[in-house]
Structure 1
Amino acid sequence: MTTLADPVPGGRPGDVERATALSAELTGRGVHGIVLAYVDTAGIGRVKTIPTAKLASAAAWGVGMSPVFDTFLANDSVVSTDVLGSPDGDLRLYPDLDHLVVLSGQPGWAWAPVDRVTQEGERHPGCGRTLLRRIVADAAQRHGISFQAGIEIEWAVGQGSALGDDFVPAVSGPAYGATRQVELSDCTAELMAALAAQGVDVDQLHPEYAAGQFEISVGALDPVAAADRSVLVRQTIRAVSQRHGLKVSFAPAVFAEGVGNGGHVHLSAWREGRNLHSGGEGRYGMTAEAESFAAGLLAHLPALTAVTAPSPASYLRLKPSQWAGVFTAWGRETRESAVRVITGTAGRREQAANLEVKPVDLAANPYLALGCLVAAGLDGLESSAALPDEITGDPARFGAEEAASRGVRRLPTSLDEAVEEFRKDELLRAALGPVLADAVIAVRLGEIAAVAGLDDGQVAAAYRWKY
């Protein structure tokens, strides 16, 4: 479980003593440095590293880093808002000692997610991890609800020897094929061993549909820990793959055409140990609160895409009839619906039932994505929103009149449209707060400007190796 208390200058009670002991233990295990990791508004993982001996100092006083990264673009250009994007100021990165792990895929290194705090010891309003922790804590206090979340990770594996920025699939076997699994068996076996050593429970790892594509599913955790785990797993995949001479991309679209890489989110709400998505009197065993939570997700999905699909390349992936979930529709085990109701197998439904949100990719900052999804669902729950009729099959088959009568709406087809929907969504902007909401808009507009005039193939190439 994630620690809910914010870091403070000087360290929370016991932090410095614990960090001192951890430092000695890590040194004894041959760990020389610690990666301090967070994700910026553009969804890029940013880091600073410290010698293992400096862990106690970092736990007490943090490590300096500029707030300018809140308005960095994926290409490392900088945009600005009225309060972010200048060369002024400093933040402190505080490692979460509860989630510090030794990196099996990077011998000599450990890793820890961080919260970002101002020099005055206050929450940094641009810190997505701090924001998500606040939203989760607020849900527990106001509604007695906790959450379990998991983020699927799809990635494309390329030959490390490919020229320039080209992508050449490292495997030739068919989608979901045994041949592809054999071709990459040494690397994936090492990957599973590394993740197990890091305390990550893997549910599935298998070849996927697109060229060179694989997918991994890991166990669900509370939302903050789930976002941390998503960052850690990608770091591990990248490190292990590199040791095998491979290059990986988590970008939404490696090529302009075809199926892209998703980052589907699985989310369930719980109260006093009971899963609200099972054992109720609603459809497929959902409780009334679970139905309203799903209705809230559907209502806010057009605006949510500015957070869950934040790159111009995201919209190369979000196409109808490719299981990307591009319509405001829900269905039980319907992989074309944006919100897929998963009941689980008979006998395990109380533990397994959840909602899968499909229009999400790995360009998204996972803390912002989960925070906004929880906020949207809670908005539906608080208003007792009615869940519309289920849609089965492919919603793309509906004509405009039938789609409208069923409440089925196409999600934004470009980042421009998504930004406009986000501007209109007061609930999501309030959930993020004005500083972070303005940063989201500024960064998205910056990404749009960065690819102005490029064709789809050039857009895919521009982001291919950014994620």
Structure 2
Amino acid sequence: MLRYLVTAIGHLVFSEVSQALRSTKMSDGEIVLLTWSDYVGFMRCRGVPLDQIESRMAYGLGWAVAGQAQTPFADLAPNPWGPMLEVRQVPVPNTKTRIDIWEDAPPFHFYLCDSKTNDGENWDCCTRGFYKNALAAFKAETGLDFLAAFEHEFMLLDDPISPAQSFTIETMRNVAKFTQDVTKALHQADVGLETVEPEFGVHQYEITSAPAVGIEAAERAIITREVIRECARRLGYRATFTPKVEPDGIGNGAHVHFSFLDGAGNNATYDPKQPHNASVVAQQFIAGVTRHMPAICALTSPSPVSYLRLGPHHWACGYASFGVQNREASIRICPSPDQDPKRAAKAFNLELRAPDATASPYLVLGALVMAGLQGIKENLPLPKPVDVDPADLTDVQRQELGIKPLPSSLAEALDLMDADPVVKSWMSPTMYESYVSVKRTEIAIAKDLSDAEICARYARVY
């Protein structure tokens, strides 16, 4: 009996040791990235070995705040911070993303982070904190939740196959392994993947996910883009979300679809008794966005290359205008084609068309929410809808409709933001001044470059 027990215990110990060794082997070399979105929409990061991640969940890792002044290139903008100040990049547990679909590469494993000061408070220059503050203000004023989803347009660079015609099966099947990997990976990421499709441009594709409530809407966008990039990397491509790959080429947008939910989960954007089926709160929100649209372009279309895409006749909008189904309006109503009243009400949504992926999704959604909230606070009336391209109207017609042009450059957008005290008030003085400094530095970098050179530089980093 004793001999049996000794043998059994020996087998048990051996089994536990073997299991531990197998576990160690599986995780050997796996790095977990702690990542955060900065002013230029980059996901900066630090990494820790997998076996260390639990010890980093409470306080994360330190980061010199001067890093927030980085441009998309190798330049650091003038900033107020210097070498001493530091924040903690603290992982948000429910943003854990681990993609493990490749035999020849370790899992892609990361957390999104909050930037916090050493006393545990949100850092006033944190882009995630900016959006959280906007959501809290919107909820406090309206009692509603904000629901949103991005469209992700991108192009595959370094594809050796000649491009097929727009929107065709061939365009999809030429990169069948890529689309298969993206589909598997985004399912693992649990971002509510809805469509994977070819687009109009050369080697251009679009991926969409289901809308999400609040902070998750931005995080789904970030996770989706990074997973697309990773799937492309593994196959020797580069996925670029830049607004323009070539000056005269097709652009990549990051349109935002959004609506509001009441406490019962109903679509509070919809009211069949109101004009265009838009509820009163939705009408006021549209009015606020339209009023502040020229200024918030500095946050939603925030790079020199953005203004090679943004403009009339590009389906990217060139004017601060409102429309129903009009893709040249900067904000539009997207009615559902569903004939069932309940499903039509649920699907009814609004779309903001100016944003692109050189902007942090946190800043895009935060600016959108705050602009719309201002319209609600002031009870602004719904603008007159436009059913043509505003560029085809005369100056007099645009004036009668209250339609103003959007900025034609990043410098103009920054000037318009500076002239809008409401928009400036959404940021702390430090955040506002440091953000503008980064963007002015980007302008200086691009100043002596041709449009083609600007496109090429941004295509390689976005």
- For 1:283-362, what aligned pairs fall within 5 Å after superposition? 283-346=275-338, 347-362=342-357
Count of residues in correspondence between the two structures: 434
| Deviation string, structure 1 residues 324-348 (Cα, Å, up to 9, x no partner) | 0221111111111111211223352
1:12: which partner in 2?
Answer: none
CA distance, structure 1, for counterparts of residue 25 and residue 37 of structure 2: 27
Match status 1:386 vs 2:400: no
User: Aligned to 1:331, what secondary structure does the other structure show?
Assistant: strand
Q: Deviations over 1:241-286 (max 9, x none)?
A: 1222212211111111122111111121222122122124222211
| Whole-Å separation in 2 of the counterparts to 1:466 and 1:256 | 17
Task: Tell me if structure 2 keeps the 8 A contact 1:58–1:93.
Answer: no
User: How much does 1:411 deviate?
Assistant: 0.4
Q: Which residue of 2 aligns with 1:398?
A: 393
Distance 1:371 1:447 in 2: 22
Matched-pair contact (CA < 8 Å) for 2:30–2:106: no
Aligned-pair CA distance for 1:228:
1.2
Determine if contact 1:278/1:343 at 8 Å carries over to the other structure.
no
Separation in structure 1 between the aligned mates of residue 278 and residue 219 of structure 2, nearest angstrom: 28
Q: TM-score, normalised by structure 2?
A: 0.90
The yes-or-no answer on 1:466 pairing with 2:457 is: no
Q: Is the 8 A contact 1:71 1:78 kept in 2?
A: yes
Preserved CA contact (<8 Å) 1:78 1:85 = no
CA distance in 2, matches of 1:87, 1:171: 49
Kindly provide the CA deviation profile for residues 385-409 of structure 1, in whole angstroms up to 9, marking residues without a partner as x.
Answer: 0111110021111121211111122
Counterparts of 1:427 and 1:280 in 2: how far apart (Å)?
A: 32
Q: SS where residue 153 of structure 1 aligns?
A: strand
Corresponding residue to 1:74 among 59, 72, 75: 72
Shift of 1:30: 7.4
Structure 2 counterpart of 1:44: 42
Q: Which secondary structure does the structure 2 equivalent of 1:350 belong to? A: helix
Kindly provide the amino acid, as one letter, of the partner of residue 397 in structure 1: D
Distance 2:272 2:53 in 1: 47
Q: C-alpha displacement at 1:120, in angstroms?
A: 2.6
How far off is 1:447 after superposition?
0.7
- Unmatched segments (≥5 aa) in structure 2: 1-22
2:405 is paired with a residue whose SS is coil
Q: In structure 2, what is the equivalent of residue 203 of structure 1?
A: 194
Q: Distance in 2 between matches of 1:76 and 1:219?
A: 36
Say if 1:85 and 1:462 are closer, same or farther in 2 by CA, change over 3 A: farther
Name the SS of the counterpart of 2:32 in structure 1: strand
2:217 maps to 226
1:432 to 427, 430, 433: 427
Q: Moved runs in structure 1, 4+ residues, more than 6 A? A: 25-31
Instruction: Identify if the C-alpha distance between structure 1 residues 414 and 242 changes in structure 2 by more than 3 Å, giving closer, same or farther.
Output: same
Aligned equivalent of 2:262, options 271, 281, 290: 271
Output the CA distance in 2 between the equivalents of 1:88 and 1:344. 53
Fraction of identical pairs, as percent: 28
**Given residue 330 of structure 1, which amino acid in structure 2 is its aligned partner?**
F
Alignment of structure 1 residues 51-66 onto 2, 5 Å: 51-66=49-64
TM-score normalised per structure 1: 0.89
Task: Kindly provide the CA deviation profile for residues 150-197 of structure 1, in whole angstroms up to 9, marking residues without a partner as x.
Answer: 111111101267xxxxxxxx5511111221011112210121011112
Out of 371-380 and 351-360, give the one that drifted further: 351-360
User: Looking at CA atoms only, which structure, 1 or 2, has the larger radius of gyration?
Assistant: 2
The residue number in structure 2 matching 1:146 is 145
Kindly state the Cα deviation for residue 71 of structure 1 after the two structures are TM-superposed: 1.2
d(CA) in 2 for partners of 1:99 and 1:35?
12
Structure 2 partner of 1:212? 203
> What are the Cα deviations for residues 343-382 of structure 1, in whole angstroms up to 9, with x where unaligned?
2233522221111100100000110111011000010011
Q: 1:414 & 1:428 partners in 2: Cα distance?
A: 18
Q: Which residue in 1 is equivalent to 2:3?
A: none
Distance 2:72 2:96 in 1: 26
Which residues of structure 1 form unaligned runs of 5+?
1-24, 162-169
CA distance in 1, matches of 2:421, 2:272: 31
SS of equivalent to 2:417: helix
Q: What's the CA shift for 1:76? A: 2.8
